[in-house]
Structure 1
Amino acid sequence: MKELFIKGMTYGWNTTKGAYRTPDAVASLKKLKETGSEWIALSFYTFQPSYSSTEIVFDYGHTMTDRDIEFAVKQAKDLGLKVCLKPVVNCKDGIWRARIGFPQEATEYWDNWFASYENFLLHYAELANELGCEMFCIGCEMISTETRVSQWERVIKKVRAVYSGPLIYNANHGKEEGVEWFDKVDLIGTSAYYPVGEKPDDSEENMIKNWEKVKTKMIKLHEKFNKPIVFMEIGCRSALGCATMPWDFTHVDLPYCEEEQEKFYSSVIKVFWDEPWFAGFFWWDWSTKLYLLEEAKTNKGFDIYGKKAEKVIQEWYAK
């Protein structure tokens, strides 16, 4: 029996201040619970002005307030869900957070950024501890910062001083080997947007074959650090070709295809479910404001509500 297996879903991404505290959000969380999920990753973001800024700011017009987070955590716990609190930094200039960074020799810039990031993270780590969140995520896809080993180790040490639960870091698919300090966290997380489809609406057999290659890689990662591995983000949209680029959210013109999404879900679960070192999934993602059930057949987003992929999750999560 595994010590920990996360039957999870990311909840509440891409919303702004106040969104958790709406009737829509409360209703949505109840529907999330009906998938058989036992965990949510409560994921929200604040901004730094650009990828090369050294200061992370609390944007009162956008950033979730502590009251918002407290409300969402309480709602989740009332439903019997466990919570991984996942604060994320994005760039207001639209550049992906993986690019946040400076030339390696620009020590002062790095020091200033890490001081700001540490402040940002400690605020939420303390909040996570007070609210009894069962896990805390210390970062997401911060690829350009990951080589700063001693600075990350210092951040983790500081977080452990205020948060008593398990820590996870969310690397990016294909870049997991770049994180030398995975030994300092309790679980290895990754955004597992691996392009397992080779053509639009590829067969599940083909996707399974490609997940097996990913599994070989994950086994090596587990053996190196002896930590459980969690797919901290994983999923694809219900649009044709999305299993060839599961991270994609920009190609809104692609035709609807819930079968490809269904096969992506089913294939990865079949490959990883029984692995003793694998600790589960936080699927991407479940919105605070869901579309109407009859609109499921036209919704081309990541949400699985009312789609075939939801049935896949319900069947496996019931095990």
Structure 2
Amino acid sequence: PQPAPQPAPQPEPTPRATPEPLPPLEAAPEIRGVAFPLHSRDPRYDYRPSLAELPEHGIQQVLVVVHLFQPRGVSPFPARHPLKTPRDEVVRTVITAARELGLEVGLMPIVLLETPHKGEWRGNLTPPDKQGRTRGQAGFDGRQADWARWFRGYRREVLHYARLAQRAGASLFSVGSELSSTEAQAEHWTALIREVRGLFAGELTYSANWDHYENVQVWQQLDYVGLSGYYELVSRQNKTPTLRELIAGWGRWRDKILAWHRRAGLSDHPLLFTEVGYASIDGCAAKPWDYTLDTRLDLSEQRDCYRAFAHAWGGQEALGGVFFYEWWGHGGRADRGYTPRGKPAMSVIREWFRVGSGR
């Protein structure tokens, strides 16, 4: 039999270009922290073991988050909930324990809705008018919404926590978070900030939603320009973003924020990310704000989003600090939630927070 013909030699495939290595991370900002929400409804829950882990990762600050509640976005005002809001002694214990570990502490009350209707959240609150009519009811005019009543209720709670923060030794206090529809009420905010200044000796911020910071009218009255940093880094069609694409995505947002910060004359008011976080799931880069996203576990995408933030913001003089969201739950490599605890993202935090820290 004839020998089988040999296949013609094929040209060598063109090798894929090896991406250039990324430059070293530049220094992290002065505030190197995590957001520490008090989610547990068990008054006996002990937060101290998870706090004790933080210093070994280079974390120097914690932002303790407590929750106020109102039933819906059209309810009159928020208040502490007897079961869902942590008791004052729990908040004090957490602040004291953190300070004993050498951590600086901030306190941030936020508003949650108990039974929100579709589309409602704390960013689009509209209180009833003085006749009790709510959004969607006949005769309601949003221009007549009773904001004075809403702020009376909100003021009561914020001043309560400002006193608690002062007595417990906190060094930072946030007067609010992501309350976008209230931000036009500059007179009410000015009065509230003035009262908080009279009670709290530390520094103050407000946390604007990631797409609404240009609308806040009281930045000059605060020490930090607070941002809730859930910026969309890639399009939703990009299912497998590369690290370089994520860095470019953060770079675009960074440049926009810095240009506004200069234009607004806020150079004496450093930027402070009160929340930056990513669930460890597919799509977290495209919709980091969507806590309802239910996709498969993806520890790498979460890790790369953290690294992209560090590369984009490292060494930026305008950045005063960042609190990564969130330090809650056991985490681990099977967890799909936001916490970086026990996940590859934690190594990025540890690496970056030690750059220039002397630790």
TM-score under structure 1 length normalisation: 0.92
Pairing of 1:89-168 with structure 2 (within 5 A): 89-94=111-116, 95-102=120-127, 104-106=142-144, 109-168=146-205
CA contact (8 A) 1:139 1:170 kept: yes
Q: Structure 1 residues 17 and 98, CA, compared in 2 at 3 Å: closer, same or farther?
A: farther
Task: Look up the SS of the partner of 1:243 in the other structure.
Answer: coil
The list of structure 1 runs, each at least 4 consecutive aligned residues, that deviate by more than 6 angstroms after superposition, is none
Distance 1:259 1:186 in 2: 35
Residue 35 of structure 2 aligns with which residue? 10
| Conserved? CA contact 1:47–1:92, under 8 Å | yes
Among residues 33, 45, 57, which one is paired with 1:22 in the alignment?
A: 45
Moved more, 196-205 or 266-275: 196-205
Q: Show the 5 A alignment for 1:161-176.
A: 161-176=198-213
**1:78 and 2:119 correspond:** no
Percent identity for Structure 1 against Structure 2: 28
Q: Which residue of 2 aligns with 1:52?
A: 74
Q: Counterpart in 1 of 2:321?
A: 280
- Aligned amino acid, residue 310 of structure 1: M
- Indicate yes or no: 2:309 matched with 1:268: yes
Partner SS, residue 227 of structure 2: strand
Alpha carbons 1:46, 1:57 under 8 Å: kept: yes
Q: CA deviation at 1:51?
A: 1.2
Q: Distance in 1 between matches of 2:216 and 2:42?
A: 32
Whether contact under 8 Å (1:50, 1:92) holds in the other structure is yes
For the Cα contact (< 8 Å) 1:36–1:317, is it kept in 2? yes
**Alignment pair present for 1:211 and 2:250:** yes
Alpha carbons 1:35, 1:314 under 8 Å: kept = yes
Letter of the 2:223 partner, please give it. Answer: D
Asked whether the 8 Å contact 2:70–2:113 carries over to 1, the reply is yes
Q: Summarize deviations over 1:250-299 as a string: whole Å, max 9, x none.
A: 123x1111111111000111111201111121011011x424xxxx2211
- Residue of structure 2 equivalent to 1:306: 342
Residue 220 (str. 1) matches residue 259 (str. 2): yes
Which structure 1 segments of 5+ residues have no match? none
Structure-2 residue corresponding to 1:251: 293
SS in 2 for 1:244: coil
Find the counterpart in structure 2 of residue 236 from structure 1.
Answer: 278
Output one character per residue of 1:4-63: Cα deviation in whole Å (capped at 9) or x when no partner.
Answer: 711000113433352xx534x221111233221101110010211221222323221121
CA contact (8 A) 1:140 1:170 kept: yes
CA distance in 2 between partners of 1:131 and 1:137 (Å): 15
Once residues 204 and 150 of structure 2 are traced to their aligned partners in structure 1, the CA distance between those partners, rounded to angstroms, is 21
Larger CA deviation: 84-93 vs 25-34:
25-34
Q: Is the Cα contact below 8 Å between 2:190 and 2:218 reproduced in 1? A: yes
- Aligned partner letter, 1:207: L
Q: How far off its partner does 1:104 sit? A: 4.9
CA distance in 2, matches of 1:110, 1:133: 29
**Superposed displacement of residue 97, structure 1:** 0.6
- Gap change, CA 1:70 and 1:89, over 3 Å in 2: same
Q: Is the 8 A contact 1:235 1:283 kept in 2?
A: yes
User: In the aligned structure 2, how far is the partner of 1:203 from the partner of 1:71?
Assistant: 42
The secondary structure found in structure 2 opposite 1:286 is coil
Aligned partners of 2:38 and 2:86 also within 8 Å: no
Matched, 1:64 2:86: yes
Q: Comparing 119-128 with 5-14, which one deviates more in the overlay?
A: 5-14
Change (3 A) 1:32 1:197: farther
Query: In structure 1, how many angstroms separate the alpha carbons of the residues matched to 2:323 and 2:167?
Result: 23
Higher helix proportion (structure 1 or 2): 1
CA RMSD after TM alignment:
1.6
CA distance in 1, matches of 2:312, 2:42: 38
Q: Is the 8 A contact 1:17 1:65 kept in 2?
A: no
Distance in 1 of aligned mates of 2:239 and 2:98? 36
